Amino acid sequence: MQNSVHIGLELETLIIFTLLAISGLVIDLFAHRADKPISIKAAAFWTIFWIVIGVSFGLFLYFHFSAEAASLYFAGYAFEMALSVDNLFAIMAIFSWFGIKSGYTHRVLYWGVIGAVVFRLIFVLIGTSLFALGPYVEIVFAVMVAVSAILMLKKKEHEETSDFSAHPAFKFVKMFLPLYPKLYGHNFFISREHVEEELKKEENKDIVLKRKGLFFATPLFLCLAIVETSDVMFAFDSVPAVIAVSKDPFIVYSCMIFAMLGLRSMFFILDALRNALVHLEKAVIFLLFFVAFKLFAAASLHLFGVGLDIDVYTSLIVIASALTVGILASFVFPKKIEDSQAKE
């Protein structure tokens, strides 16, 4: 029977998960304390670092609990990383609009992940509690996941928000804090005294502040607010999809956290490969439809006796195969739209 594993909050497992996550975050923060651009080589190293940590925890689940528990974790881990790629591309557009230098992007992503750790916990607890209510909830979640897939399918290829000043998070910050329109180092806020010093500089003589206050929000904080909001909206899609793989709250939460921590470093690799992984999104869309079918089929079996339970091993094979095909297809069949346009 699928999703029968329930490891709960066993103390030893909870301690190991917490130590791995916090230790990794501390090491990462110390290594990137300077505001320097992260090279592809360094990003690859840190991506491998986080993958090793994530895989190590999965192996711990294998030896400490069972192969099924580890398979649920690895399926959710791979699925969360795949789903997050689309969100990372959206974050790239946010950085581009605000003109955030590459040396500061890691700082925004770091604090963005800290917020995501909290929000994911809330969403996972609510989501798994709702799933426990019965098959009808599974049908609702199946519809939600299918709608997400359809929206991704209909999304225009180069569709990006052109003006983030109209974003709700931007307006919310603006409502409570005065804004300073220029970056001030890696600071999220700037004091009134420093603002007055900045305004005395020749290059800032044209700046007119619309409001006064003790502290001003910089574009870096506005960027962080929009990134956090983007992640919360993304969680409405990703959390139900990952819960569909495993209904155990701890397995769901741990695989999502380790996947997110690794994606922060992977961001810089994806930024360099954003025009290369052209077919990966198709694989993600396929997986969302697969998860929607998986939920609906299981609910139908329980309610009407007609349907099927897709076991975790089959799910893991489907997820791994779809992602592999999506990545390989991107390199074997690269997009040639720009080339054809150039010839015209």
Strands 215-217, 189-191: pairing is antiparallel
CB 201 within 8 A of CB 262: no
pLDDT digits (tens, 9 = 90+) for 65-74: 988 899 989 9
Given a cut of 70, whether residue 122 has pLDDT beyond it is yes
Nearest to 262 by CA among 47, 82, 108: 47
The C-alpha atoms of residue 133 and residue 339 are separated, in whole angstroms, by 53
Mean pLDDT value across the chain: 82
- Taking residue 217's Cβ as centre, other Cβ atoms within 10 Å add up to 22
25: burial class by Cβ within 10 Å (0-12, 13-18, 19+)? middle
pLDDT at 2: 45
Q: Is 212 left (phi over 0), alpha (psi -120 to 50) or beta?
A: beta
Express each pLDDT in 194-218 by its tens digit: 888 888 888 887 887 888 888 899 9
The yes-or-no verdict on residue 338 having pLDDT over 50 is: no
Query: Position of tokens 């992977």?
Result: 266
Place of tokens 């904080």: 221
- 35-55 confidence digits (pLDDT tens): 777 778 888 888 888 889 999
H-helix or E-strand spanning residue 190: strand 189-191
Alpha helices by DSSP H, 2-101: 11-31, 40-64, 67-98
Residue 60 has pLDDT above 90, yes or no: yes
pLDDT digits (tens, 9 = 90+) for 227-245: 888 888 888 777 888 887 7
Q: What H or E segment, with its residue span, contains residue 189? A: strand 189-191
Residue 156 — pLDDT band, cuts 50, 70, 90? low
Quick check: 3 pLDDT over 80?
no
**Does residue 192 or residue 90 have the better pLDDT?**
192
* Alpha-carbon span 201 to 187, nearest angstrom: 19
pTM of this prediction? 0.80
pLDDT tens for 264-295 read: 778 877 776 666 777 888 888 888 898 889 88
Task: Indicate whether 342 pLDDT > 60.
Answer: no
Residues in contact with 85: Cβ distance below 8 Å, sequence separation at least 6, in sequence order: 263, 270, 277, 280, 281, 284
Q: Name the β-bridge partners of 179.
A: 217
Residues 333 and 280: their CA atoms lie apart, in Å, by 12
Cβ neighbors of 244 (< 8 A, separation 6 or more) are 141, 142, 145, 291, 294, 295
Cα separation, 130 vs 122, whole angstroms: 12
Whole-number Å distance between alpha carbons of 128 and 250: 10
Does position 339 have pLDDT exceeding 80, yes or no? Answer: no
Within 10 angstroms of residue 53's Cβ, the number of other Cβ atoms is 18
- Annotate 273-296 with b (16+ C-beta within 10 A) or e (fewer): beeebbbbbbbbbbbbebbbbbbb
Across the range 138-152, mean pLDDT stands at 85
With the C-alpha atoms ordered 324, 329, 330, 332, is the resulting torsion angle positive or negative?
A: positive
Report the pLDDT value the prediction gives residue 61, as an integer from 0 to 100: 93
336 pLDDT higher than 70: no
Tokens 């994806």, located at residue: 270
pLDDT computed for residue 224 by the predictor: 92
